[in-house]
Amino acid sequence: MTSSSSKSIKNICVVGAGQMGIGIGLVAARVAKLNIQFVDSNPDQVQRGLAFLDSLLIKDVTRGRCTEDERTEVKSRISSAPSISEMNTADFVIEAVSENVQLKRKIFRELSEKLPQETILATNTSSISITKIASAARWPENVVGMHFMNPVPVMRLVEIIPGLQTSGDTLDATLELAQRMGKTTTMSQDVPGFIANRLLMPYINEAMVALQEGIATREDIDTTMKLGTNTPMGPLTLADFIGLDTCLAIMKVLHEELGDSKYRPAVLLQKYVDAGWLGVKSGRGIYKYE
Ligand code: CAA
């Protein structure tokens, strides 16, 4: 046995307390009833994230979906540490930092230096090669892709992606953990964008091209796709929700790794990111937010 089995998983570490990390931590603590430690070097980010997590628990108490005791109990199993060197040991780590391959490789190197060999190291990357991230770790057989969708507490899917060296034990434990978290899983090859973003990002990018070419207003592009294909958000609203910087980073991975001009990022997408218009999180993207 080279990695933890799902039944022995009790302590999870989530690296990165941004919107994805916080959502993953909440579901792991609330649904799978695991102990969670967030690792993030930015204390403001951790404080904001934990306050948001608590606001979701309070809403559930208000709506009668959770008792006050359960809220206290879930919170008692959540802690944080400012760095990997100061974190507690963990059976399973889920990395959820921004889409930067060098940063992710550094984190995986540090994690595998700090933690015992049997710890499984999962990355929530939305497009970067699992094999490339895994090669920075001491035991690449224990590294796997575990791609959650945003907002994590609401979305039912997790894509599981084995890298070239991922072991069968690691894969089995990851599938079981996702099920314990109440998620449905799909399995993808380790290819740029996996399944979800290979299909979703060219769609969002094409909506940016349509806007850039003046085919229609942003509202008409969104309304056409929202009402015409029965999706909760039109592509431009969804792009703002995901973050235009994230959309651009994923398009760049698709374009560079697959080498096909059909994945070239829209000029307007690059321009908005250059302007700091990143979507909901920066108060302005394709739309303005108060
Ligand atoms: N975190 C946790 N819960 C959230 C949330 C968040 N960030 N945002 C909304 N919710 C919850 C709300 O609290 C609410 O829950 P309750 O019913 O329990 O009260 C529920 O979601 C519905 O929210 P609202 O009523 O406020 O709004 P809505 O009905 O318009 O739904 C939405 C909001 C769930 C975000 C919906 O618009 C939606 O499903 N949008 C599409 C999301 C999507 O496509 N996600 C995938 C993005 S791609 C991705 O994640 C992959 C990647 O790598 C980029």
Listed residue (133, 146, 115, 119) closest to 28, CA to CA: 146
The percentage of the chain sitting over the pLDDT mark of 90, rounded to a whole number, equals 96
Question: Does the CB atom of residue 171 touch ligand 1 within 6 A?
Answer: no
* Predicted confidence band of residue 3 (pLDDT cuts 50, 70, 90): low
Q: What's the confidence (pLDDT) of residue 9?
A: 94
Answer whether residue 75 shows pLDDT above 70: yes
Quote the mean pLDDT of the chain: 96
Asked whether the predicted pLDDT for residue 5 surpasses 90, the reply is no
Reported confidence tier of residue 271, pLDDT bands at 50, 70, 90: very high
Sheet with 11-15: list strands edge to edge: 78-81, 35-39, 11-15, 92-95, 120-123, 143-148, 157-162, 184-187
- The verdict on whether 147 is a catalytic residue reads yes
User: What is the three-class DSSP state of 127?
Assistant: coil
Q: Tell me, what's the pLDDT at 148?
A: 98
Q: Is the ipTM of this complex over 0.90?
A: yes
Confirm or reject: Cβ of 232 under 6 Å from ligand 1: yes
Which pTM was predicted? 0.95
Tokens of 177: 């953990």
Which pLDDT value is given to residue 8? 85
State mean pLDDT over 25-36. 97
pLDDT for the residue numbered 290: 83
Of these residues, 110, 129, 159, 188, which one is catalytic?
A: 159
User: CA-to-CA distance for 233 and 11, rounded, in angstroms?
Assistant: 35
Instruction: Write the residue with the smallest CA distance to atom 37 of ligand 1.
Output: 232
Mutate to test the pocket of ligand 1, among 26, 149, 154, 155 (most ligand atoms within 8 A of CB): 154
197 part of the active site: yes
Count how many Cα atoms sit within 13 Å of the Cα of residue 41 in the half-sphere of its side chain: 5
Q: Are 16 and 94 in contact (CB under 8 A)?
A: no
Q: Atom 20 (ligand 1): residue with closest C-alpha?
A: 154
User: What is the whole-number distance in angstroms between the Cα of residue 55 and the centre of ligand 1?
Assistant: 15
The tokens of 41 are what? 């070097």
The verdict on whether 110 is a catalytic residue reads no
